[in-house]
Structure 1
């Protein structure tokens, strides 16, 4: 059973340099049959592992004990078992650990779609909740902006209405017409449509939940995103105003395979046109 893991080691540069030398020897001896890739940055060591049978926690626990000033953070995913988790070692001790079912997370949350360009730029992050037989509301984010959304669909004529916000609790712009079909043109509403407070608060909660699970923002406190920046640098990716969390990005990279598009979707097949609509309109209209 193949497990994919990312190990990030942070701390003083002198300690990291010594640890790197020791780990190179140990990993070569202990994991010679595994796939180990190094992506080190200026402020962190980063190892991508593909290992059979289980994560070598004892190996990193021993290294952590030898270098107590360093922090070892491990993110792992076992696709076959439907599990993922994290672990953090400091001074040889397990400081924190989480495990969760991949399927359970998807089943209890709104469907999501995330697409990332080859250079790491977030093309679109989207989550939508069905609120009627032919109506959805949710949240969308690209590398440079975000919005709340409402989609209405008439199955008989294939006509759609997409409304988005622009910072205020009101629908400020719209795309209307048949989809798929000719390109839809945005319309800035002369009289924006106010969003009922109850609905707006629910949409804000959906946005916070999605961002908390998937997105890190460049304007966050530097100590909160330093590791994210390091991991992006190790991948050779650019950073933007909004970016996919590196643990999620790591899983997307592993699942996609070499040179494949980085996409993740839990939308049902019959609802996949919704992400196509947003990609063709709001996300395209940068």
Structure 2
């Protein structure tokens, strides 16, 4: 199945809240696969997700992992009022590899974690600018890519499908919703 180029969305508040959310996704046929991280009830959460049959007339499922645990399979369907699945749905090996690669490439390009080795320069840049330092942050050199015209500041890939972003953010467990 042919996969699209991964798209990204980031939202950031320089007024003390820092990174609100970061998301990457790609499409493959009728499905959307991706990963997100962001604030959730005073902490940071992350998960892989699949919008099953998003581009079809079939019933849709918004499947997600518990954190980064793909070995545990899809354990949530956020399209349901009670999202916890009774039984986990396994993630195929090829799908798992694509998701891991997409997340790794996205995080490597856009994000840094203060407790990770080699993050001292990023931490110094954030502190020098008085920016909020959280468990997950946008790399300092990438902050200029964010649109400064609104609040929050955002970066949206030029070919991002806003229908996907709207749908995911309506149901995901993160605190952030599109304004």
Match of 1:208 in 2: 104
Match of 1:163 among 47, 59, 63: 63
Structure with greater contact order relative to length (CA < 8 Å, sep ≥ 6): 2
Larger radius of gyration: 1
Q: How many residues align?
A: 164
TM-score under structure 1 length normalisation: 0.52
SS at match of 1:130: strand
The CA distance in 2 between the partners of 1:209 and 1:138, in whole Å, is: 12
Deviation of 1:147 after TM superposition, in Å, equals: 1.1
Structure 1 pair 210–241 and aligned structure 2 pair: CA distance change class (3 A): same
Match of 2:114 in 1: 218
The CA distance in 2 between the partners of 1:238 and 1:186, in whole Å, is: 34
- Unaligned runs of 5+ residues in structure 1 are 1-107, 178-184
Q: Map 1:4-153 to 2 at 5 A.
A: 109-118=5-14, 119-132=16-29, 134-143=30-39, 144-152=44-52, 153=54
Structure 1 pair 250–154 and aligned structure 2 pair: CA distance change class (3 A): closer
Structure 1 pair 279–123 and aligned structure 2 pair: CA distance change class (3 A): farther
CA RMSD, 1 decimal: 2.5
- Unaligned runs of 5+ residues in structure 2 are none
Match of 1:256 in 2: 148
1:244 correspondence with 2:118: no
Match of 1:227 in 2: 121
Which has the larger share of helix?
Answer: 1
